[in-house]
Chain A
Amino acid sequence: MVSTNSHFITGGVRSGKSAFAEQLVRQTAQQTNRKMYYIASGVAFDDEMKQRIAWHQADRTSLKWTTIEQPTHFATLVNRIPKDAVVLWDCVTTWLTNEMYVQLDDESMQWQHVERFQQRVEEAKEWCRHLNEQHIPFFIVSNEVLDESKYESEEVEFYRKQIGLFHQWLVSFCAVAIEMDYGIPHYWKGGK
């Protein structure tokens, strides 16, 4: 199934992908009179990250956004988005990192329990399908991280594989798939 009103936007670091996605969301909000919802998956674990989040927040002050902090666990998000919303999720790579490092009761990490981890990935897909069924337009931002050689670390390779598989799913599910190259969008799938 391909969703009708969804965009997947990816690119390298500082490629302008977030700004481009936000612009698309603003356009959609204005044209269809929808409320803008921002699903933020970034967690501030140091000062630089706090600064980065502050910049992104300042970028969004000019128009009314509702921000939902959602680092993990997308099953809990399903009923929090109203039908007249347009949704921006930024971004997939931080979310996947967060899901990997959810600490369990026995102090192991969630990525070490593959079935449990996969369940969380399925929940995120389910959330996308839910938005689609509700005809809520959504825009998903991610990073290009797979253009370098293999890592020795099992953890990093696990992460790279999961990112690759999830991106493949997003590209097949979303109506439009865009790769940003320093401000210039390349439409791999779907038109403008």
Chain B
Amino acid sequence: MHVIIGGAYNGKRKYIAKQLEGQAVDWCDDLQHSNIENEHAEILVITDLEKQIEPFLNEPEKEVAETFFYKIVKNGFKYKSIYVIIEDIGRGVVPIFSEKRKLRDVLGRLYQLLFAESQTITRIWYGIPQKIK
């Protein structure tokens, strides 16, 4: 597993698309209904976790994070490698709405699990990569 992290609109997808250019890649923005388009794809790229987690924010933080972590791992079984693109949202002002605070908390927990699991972590800053693991 490889993690790509960075702020919003920093060129994370553009960077990974370029890295994987010419290879058969499945892009997945919905783990519930993963529609696998390419039978021969060896690489899975997972995006939009922020959006997918939103409906589950009433459930306990740790459970939601773990459930999503296992979903990611399970979806990745048939691939040689998985790339997970995640948005760093933990550095702003503490949001006034509890839902938004909860989203940051759950994502933070999930990111910790992903960081521990992955072989490489790359931070993207306006298109420039920095290996942090």
Contact = CB atoms under 8 A, between A and B. Distances in A.
Interface stretch (B16-24, B33-41, B61-69, B123-131): B123-131
- Point out which of B7, B50, B93 has the most chain A C-beta atoms below 10 A from its C-beta: B7
B9 A165 contact: yes
A179 interface: yes
Interface residues of B, number: 22
A172 B127 contact: yes
Contacts of B126: 164, 167-168, 170-171, 177, 188
A180 to B, nearest CB: 13
B103 interface: yes
B73 interface: no
A146 interface: yes
A161 B103 CA distance: 21
B130 A146 contact: no
Among A146, A168, A170, A189, the one with the most B-chain Cβ atoms within 10 Å of its Cβ is A146
B interface, over-half SS: loop
Interface in A152-192: 160-161, 163-165, 167-168, 170-172, 177, 179, 188-189
Contacts of A172: 127
Given A167-B126, A171-B126, A179-B125, A148 B89 contact: yes
Contact of A146 (B9, B50, B104, B128): B9
Interface-centre pick from A147, A148, A160, A163 (highest chain B CB count, 10 A): A148
A188 B131 CA distance: 12
Interface string B77-94: 000000000011111110
A150 interface: yes
Interface residues of A, number: 20
Nearest to B104: A149
A170 B104 CA distance: 29
A144 interface: yes
Interface of A: 144, 146-150, 160-161, 163-165, 167-168, 170-172, 177, 179, 188-189
18 contacts: A147-B92, A148-B89, A148-B91, A148-B95, A149-B50, A150-B50, A160-B8, A160-B9, A161-B8, A161-B9, A163-B9, A164-B7, A164-B10, A164-B11, A170-B126, A171-B127, A177-B126, A179-B125
